[in-house]
Amino acid sequence: MPDRRAYVFLADRGGEEAAISFGELDRRARALAVRIAAQAPRGERALLLFPSGIEFVVALFGCLYAGIIAVPLMLPRRHGARDASAAILTDCTPRLALSTAALIAGARGDLTGRFPADRLAWLATDGDEPVDRVARGLPADPAAEDIAILQYTSGSTSAPKGVVVSHASLLANLAMIQAAFGTTRTSTLATWLPHYHDMGLILHLLHSFYAGAPQVLMSPVAFLQRPLNWLRAIGEYRADFSGAPNFAYDLCVSRYRPEQMEGVDLSAWRVAVNGAEPVRAGTIDRFAETFARHGFARRAVTPAYGMAEAGVLIAARTRADGPVYRRLSRDELQRNRVAPPQGDADARLAVGCGAQLIGERIAIVERETRRRLGPDEIGEIWVAGPNIAGGYWSNPQAGADAFAATIAGEEEPAWLRTGDLGFVDGAGELFVTGRIKDVIIIRGTNHYPQDIEHTVETAHPALAQHGAAAFATVDPDGDERLVVVQEIERSYRHRLDSDELTRRVREAVVAEHDIAPFAVTLLRPGALPKTTSGKVQRALSRQLWLDGGLDLL
Amino acid sequence: MPPASISEAEIRDWCVACLQRMIDFPAAPVAPDATFAEMGLDSATSVYFVVELEDWLGRELAPEIVGDYPTISRLARHLAGGAEDDGAG
């Protein structure tokens, strides 16, 4: 067992770049833990700043062995401007930052400069420490309620929210995940998802480890470059579990070339999870049809729903029956009602995301009254169970709002309010139909309107402060796209180059958020809908934009 | 497949045509001297663009090359110079 491969990392251009057995992983993690423990007492935080690969996994387990709270982060983009780095630093006050020697030395721009803090010590995990010595002096094993990880996938760049994941809640979700998907030591998993994203970290990286199964890893860049390489890896390694957000399945279809799939057999792929963003029936159908000829079975399609605040997984289709759809009225869904469509133009297919997992409860609740709703009634999705996270690291107010909700007439338990809308049908199947929370999801990643609005407003002096609204619209293919509308500053209205302004806005949003706005719409001064107290009305802005009712420049 | 030595102008024209295909929002402003960010090329699209460019040129390019040479004109000039590119600007 100790010599069995735990992880294999594929180079971006193909071939195995690195591999590690369970035994080596344990030895390296313990040796690293000794070094970590010498620099920080238990309970301190360590940032983990790594490219995709095995080094990250060693660092993660090193932290866990040392009793240090691991904070996995995305590497700051080399040419990116502002990001959440400084705010996360302030929020979790880490004592350590773990990375590779090359990155610390500046191989990819000034990494250490992005995290200015007097108390922060940088530790290279890939130094020449001998790993054959038995590590001595490790702290005792963690208690169940000790915090293992902080996940910063929620919250805006100015107000990040670190989801507190204890060992107990993590193990609870991993047990639910293993039970849901039937993963064993003889399974093989595969992923290209980033390790700082909950779907990558928990649903893949830790899931395989928990089951004692090997996993094949690729970088997200490798996937975006050549999406079919993901499928080729699944075929070559006979992976039976691999998941990704909806856009990834669309990308495989749009970049499909038969010659690149020659000899690839996907028939071992038993669980193809689709989650992290709304799951679309059209995507499922196109993917299943395109890849059937390569052995892909439609019944492997596994729509799922989750969020970092719930460990990661809340629900998934686990019966290997394939996806289930409900054909509903689009108009009635806009009014948060479930009804059959009035003709084809009104029809929308809602995709079922499975039932609550074993040990967990899902409730649909009416937001204003906190009244529990019945089957086929749309309300906010609430979740309770041992997998629910402990709150946000240093934002107790936001934590109380989200994690300690009670249903009217019921004393307990404390429920997680997801901010998503949906219904459960008569058979217990969950359908996610919309979102209350103000978040825009692009390629499975959360973006916050207020962050984007700040970027837009400050992109040029001719743009009015507090004059921006950012929202999502769904394009003809069903994909979520970003729209920004921005008022012109009154004093500039007679000396404008609107093309130049549009370019500046687009450039700023790409540079700071790595999203290309689908539309940048400039408005006359004062044209942005606001409340009497001056707050921008995003939902109304969106409706007016869709209806063509905004006062354009 | 292009001939072994391609002119800067040919590379520039190819890039313009490629991005006009890839950038799918209304009024996409593809121009040789606009920055890739101004044209709305996020990292996912730029990775795809570089792969297509590699396949057309017949040589490997680092995905970060659009960060190091941030307009079509500058990128074309760099590539036509025949430099072996490993991503270091």
Using a CB-CB cut-off of 8 Å, the residues of chain B touching A221 are 47, 63
Strand A361-366 vs strand A121-124: parallel, antiparallel, or unpaired? unpaired
Query: Which member of A78, A226, A443 has the closest CB to residue B51?
Result: A226
Instruction: Look at residue A474 and tell me whether its pLDDT is greater than 90.
Output: no
Percent of chain A with pLDDT over 90: 82
Question: What would be the CATH architecture of the domain defined by B8-80?
Answer: Orthogonal Bundle (1.10)
Interface check A506 vs B, CB under 8 A:
yes
Query: Across the A/B interface, how many CB contacts are shorter than 8 Å?
Result: 56
Q: Do A221 and B47 touch (CB under 8 A)?
A: yes
Buried/exposed B72-89: b ≥16 CB within 10 Å, e otherwise: bbebbebbbeeeebeeee
Q: Token match 């729903």: residue?
A: A305
Interface check A553 vs B, CB under 8 A:
no
Note whether residue A357 is domain-resident: no
Note whether residue A200 is domain-resident: no
| d(C-alpha A266, C-alpha B8), whole Å | 43
Q: For A403, how many CA atoms within 13 A lie in the half-sphere containing its CB?
A: 24
Q: Do B51 and A225 touch (CB under 8 A)?
A: yes
Q: Which site among B19, B23, B42, B54 would you substitute to test the A interface, given the most A Cβ atoms closer than 10 Å to its Cβ?
A: B42
Task: Please tell me whether residue A444 adopts helix, strand or coil conformation.
Answer: coil
Q: Are A220 and A10 in contact (CB under 8 A)?
A: no
Instruction: Report which secondary-structure segment, H or E, holds A20.
Output: strand A16-21
CA of A514, closest CA in chain B: separation in Å? 5
DSSP assignment letter at A373: P
Interface check A394 vs B, CB under 8 A:
no
Note whether residue A340 is domain-resident: no
Residue of B nearest to A504 (CA): B38
| d(C-alpha A502, C-alpha A440), whole Å | 21
The dihedral through the CA atoms of A260, A220, A166, A391 has a sign that is negative
Percent of chain A with pLDDT over 70: 97
Note whether residue A364 is domain-resident: no
Note whether residue A453 is domain-resident: yes
Domain harbouring A481, CATH code: 3.30.300.30
Q: How many domains does chain A have?
A: 2
How does pLDDT run across A317-357, given as a tens digit for each residue?
987 789 999 999 999 998 999 999 999 999 999 999 999 99
A67: its two tokens? 């009793």
Q: Pick the last residue of a domain from A119, A142, A165.
A: A142
pLDDT category of residue A134 using cuts at 50, 70 and 90: low
Q: Do A514 and B42 touch (CB under 8 A)?
A: yes
Note whether residue A525 is domain-resident: yes
Query: Which member of A481, A503, A514 has the closest CB to residue B38?
Result: A503
A320: its two tokens? 């290997």
Interface check A552 vs B, CB under 8 A:
no
Angle, alpha carbons A226-A228-A230 (nearest 5°): 95
Q: Do B47 and A516 touch (CB under 8 A)?
A: no
Note whether residue A376 is domain-resident: no
What sections of A97-194 are H helices per DSSP? 101-104, 167-181
Query: Which member of B34, B42, B70 has the closest CB to residue A515?
Result: B42
Domain boundaries, chain B: 8-80
How does pLDDT run across A493-511, given as a tens digit for each residue?
888 899 999 999 999 999 9
Instruction: Look at residue A462 and tell me whether its pLDDT is greater than 50.
Output: yes
Domain that holds residue A486: 448-547
First to last CA, chain A: 68
Note whether residue A486 is domain-resident: yes
Least confident among A22-31, B25-34, B48-57, B59-68? B25-34
Q: Which site among B23, B35, B38 would you substitute to test the A interface, given the most A Cβ atoms closer than 10 Å to its Cβ?
A: B38
Domain harbouring A132, CATH code: 3.40.50.980
